[in-house]
Structure 1
Amino acid sequence: MTEFTPVQSLTFEEFGQILCYPRPERDEFHLRQKELKLLGVNAISFTGPTKIKDRQILGKGCVSLVIKAEMNREIVALKIRRVDADRPHMSHESSMLRLANRSGVGPSHRGSTKNLLAMTYIRGLPISRWVETLSGRGQKTKVRQVVSAILTQCFAMDNAGLDHGELSNASKHILVDGQGIPWIIDFESASMTRKPNNLTSIVQFLFVNPKMAPLIEKRIGHIDRDALFPLLRSYKKSATQELLAEVSRHLGI
């Protein structure tokens, strides 16, 4: 069972390296403590695959750290803006996640402040790891179902005018949970001003990327890329439901 530590009992010496990564400052620490209280975060869990000094966390990026937390009796993934981030607040990612949610994509937005962003905690594996660990019967069906769901989510974002921005290398940006449901995460680079290329980017990652494509093809069979690329070019010009269906049929989904 995961142990949670009440936020009010965390000291600067214990939590400063996480709340104010990578340069802990007492004044900033106390400001961010107040944000935790304002957001309703009452406890955190030092658990996950990433280590920051002597603490385990869920992840670390260029903009934020991610920790597991308890907020209003719900387990959430909490992003904490790095003090050396190239942006002054979390409002952009917060608004992009809300927009994604309107299209049925991404973990549910649970609240945000200047330096914090809370969302539904997804217990899952990065998609490449998920595919690698598949074994036994039914692998082909499972991969087809996950890929189909990802394409549907990307199509929804394309039609909403929201470009994720990092799906051409989606190894860290898609989690697959225990029920085989894929979740697109990390909307810090998303944009409503760029032309959306979500579906074309994810298809190239899954079926062209030299590391990912062999894992997928091993489970669902060979893909004719020479015939795939013209379909993707057509889709880029007009992201229609009909072209989505045609791309899916070509991929055997």
Structure 2
Amino acid sequence: MLIELLGREMHNYLISQEELERFKGFLEKRGIKVEKFYSKGTTSLIFLGKWRNKEVIIKLERPDTPRKNLQKEANILRVLKGHEISPLLIDYGMFENREFLVREFAIGKPLLYTTPEKDHLLQILEETYKLDLLRIDHGQIQGGKHIIIGDRVWIIDFEKASLRRKPKNVTTAMAMIFLNNNVISKRVREKFKINPMFLETLRKELKQYKETKNIEKIKELLCSL
């Protein structure tokens, strides 16, 4: 039973077997099949499923969520459609007074748990640059969990993103990957044998980027790795 994967506490508190079955039936009528529980987020329960033979992520708002974010995420995913930054939004709506969102599954591993290749680094630069141009500030780039590394790069989970904050996706991503002291930067520095001159040049170019919004010098630097 699907609910067994949620655990007894979640069964009793976050969703009942009966409600889960109703949710599965509700989505099946929309062409979406719930297959298994995936994880528990701060604001939603997350399931894996299928839509037209494609793997999808299904988010269902938790009844105890401190905030409603899925509509905002759905709106941002609509803005991103065609930009090849985040997986495609499949569906969004309400189920028994709870928000739900369905999007295509991003195949790969979070940057936090893997070491990127040079092509990945260039894709991260390009995609964060696109976000800056679209004036969307992701808000959680710095943790490395929302950049997915696979055959290509995806940026996911825009629940805390904003169209009002000043976007700083490029500077945040580059600082996380190269300049800050964390497990990601340590792996990248070791893999590419990055020296202090490279880091100092990157700092200078990021400072210039804040003024010019031109990534060409940063791109040239990454291409030199």
SS at match of 1:79: strand
Q: Kindly indicate whether residue 124 of structure 2 is the aligned counterpart of residue 124 of structure 1.
A: no
Where do 5+ consecutive residues of structure 1 fail to align? 47-56, 132-141
**1:80-128 deviation line (CA, Å, top 9, x unaligned):** 2211112246211111122223432111111111321111112211123
- Cα pair 1:64 1:81 within 8 Å, conserved: yes
1:104 is matched with 84
1:60 is matched with 40
Cα distance in structure 2, aligned partners of 1:238 and 1:153: 17
- Which residue of 221, 229, 232 maps to 2:206? 232
Change over 3 Å in CA distance of 1:13–1:216 after alignment to 2 = closer
Runs of at least 4 residues of structure 1 off by over 3 A? 12-22, 25-35
Change over 3 Å in CA distance of 1:21–1:129 after alignment to 2 = farther
- Which residue of 174, 180, 185 maps to 1:213? 185
TM-score normalised according to structure 2 size: 0.82
Paired residues in the alignment total: 217
TM-score normalised according to structure 1 size: 0.74
Offset, 1:147: 0.3
Of the structure 1 ranges 144-153 and 105-114, higher mean CA displacement relative to structure 2 is found in 105-114
Q: Kindly indicate whether residue 176 of structure 2 is the aligned counterpart of residue 196 of structure 1.
A: no
Offset, 1:216: 0.5
Change over 3 Å in CA distance of 1:45–1:18 after alignment to 2 = farther
SS at match of 2:117: helix
Across the aligned residues of Structure 1 and Structure 2, the Cα RMSD in angstroms comes to: 2.9
Q: Kindly indicate whether residue 136 of structure 2 is the aligned counterpart of residue 145 of structure 1.
A: no
Change over 3 Å in CA distance of 1:16–1:212 after alignment to 2 = closer
Identity of aligned residues (%): 24
Where do 5+ consecutive residues of structure 2 fail to align? none
Change over 3 Å in CA distance of 1:204–1:19 after alignment to 2 = same
The AA in structure 1 aligned to 2:166 is K
